[in-house]
Structure 1
Amino acid sequence: MMKLLLTSIVICFCQFVAAQPPLQQFWVFNKARQGGTGLLDQIGSTGASMAYSVRKLRTAYAGPAMRVRRGTGTALATADVAFNGTTGAVDANSIVTITSAGTTSGVTVGSTMAFSTFYNGVSVYVATWYDQSGNARNVTQATESKQPRIVNAGVIDVSNTKTSVLFTGASSQVLQVAAAPSTILTSGYIGTASAVFEASSGSTVAYGFSPNGSGRWQTHANWGNFLYFDVGSGSYARFYFSNSGNVGLLRTYMMIASATAPRMQVFISGASITTGVTNTGTPSASPANMTTFNIGGTDYFHTGHQSEMIIFPVALGTNEITIVNNNQKAFYNTP
């Protein structure tokens, strides 16, 4: 009887999985195997190409969220910040492990403490934002003046009550990783960027690849009053619309480039942008001289908080878009 019952359960499960789209089939098997509760556990797919966040995105990920710096010279200290085991996010109660310590820093390498103890009364900056995808594509910044901030004079930076990384723009702040579009995106251009950030005013770049204009896979948010999503070589494809109403507000953004119609899509707060859109050109493979992925810009600098950035090497389907948008909106308290 027990054997018959187990056989029936297996048959029902397989029938359920078979009825799902291919991407969702992977998610069902992956979640059943891992028992994961993070966003990347839920989306499954072929996996993210890169994933950075102030929260834990994948149950199997055992590393820290980021490496941070306080002080300079002999007072400099760096530490790896763990996700709080209770909240699953970076916060005042996260445990940090000292990774380097100047002679007057007051800490020793290998010691641990609460994040709030580490940043007590001082400002703290992000030197490395670790990749949770499993691909070890950590974004880093060795130049102190270009490191974005996460604590201001003893007060943790937040947006919508959640810890967030602040790019001030004026200091040319950017986090980078050496990577070519061909290793991140299918055919060098097909993929999905899912991010949580505040749009800037002025002329700024939120993230992406750009070899000084000869080709792009990047988002201006904003450029003037408009958000631009640019993909391709030379006369690259461009999808743009007015985004002035979201300046300074934490929102979920999803940009998708595909080989089939609709070739370019943008979602804000889970809603597909279709009104007031100008969509020109056809997305294509990015040029070979694009070798660095940036969070923030290298020439037009982002101003505002960035909380999460995930790149998928596929154009997500309707089910996956819904899963990602709903998950991000719920965690970050966005509309």
Structure 2
Amino acid sequence: MIEPEQNTGTSVRFEVHLFLCALVLALFLLLAIILFAIPWAKNLQLNLFINFLWLLAIYKLIFFFAHYYNKNFGFSLQDGTIDEEDYRNGDAPLTHAQMYALVTIFCIYIFELFFIEAWLHKLQLVWRPFWADAIINWMRDNADTLSNNNKWGIITIIVGSDNPLKRVFPDGDAFLRSSFSNAALFFSFFRLVTFPVIVACYYKVLGNMIDGLGMDAINPGKINPRELGNHKHVLWCFFLTIPLIFMFIGATLMCTLFPLALNVLSMISVNAWLERFGLYFTCPIFIIFAMKMMYGWRQYAKSHY
């Protein structure tokens, strides 16, 4: 049985566990960058296959680490080894579900590196199976541009004046006609599918910690209807909600439906991916803040009306 530390009102213990686990997983990510950069074979498809084996090996090591952590430190709220109050206050290690959520995030990141370093060569796909072509064609058929507005468009291709791609592609139509768009649309589809998964995993891992770091203080759902002068708290929460909603919309669109804003620029090279990783890392956090705030207003409405 895990013996939790005494509750000190902080989430230090959880943060320490999270930091150490993230550090180990970051080392696996660094290992992936190094291995995928090595030219294992002159034949590009053979090199892709070898790197795919490395990808599977890294995944194996990652899940071995997750299993080791869960066996020795992790816990489940259902087994009763950790008090739920200690868990909510941050005086507990990662749960089994939180650990696997954290692992899922890093597995997605590592696959992106595999795609950029191994699957691409000079920004072209070295292997295009029929299902990849089907995805690319589906994305292209459902792409909106300024001159071609599809009624059921999934993504929007706009080359902004401040976008580095503007030097190569004058508009979205030129981008879609280029051979570069094949890899870009394929990568954009991957992020379109995986970004909601990343947000869900972030929420699982960081949800309680975000509350402890101050979200509870600005959450309208925590407002006591019997508290005198709570109208000031309501007004403060309202003014905070507006920018959070804009952040929610902007982060979601940038990471999914407007691929040229972030996703396509990130797949140009590993350096480009690393340069934009900070933005891609923080977008889910802003989304979680906004989700918690909007859910808090729902709780506020239920308790007051």
Regarding TM over 0.5, the answer is no
- Which structure has the greater CA radius of gyration? 2
TM-score when normalising by structure 1 = 0.23
TM-score when normalising by structure 2 = 0.25
> Where is the strand percentage greater, Structure 1 or Structure 2?
1
> Where is the helix percentage greater, Structure 1 or Structure 2?
2
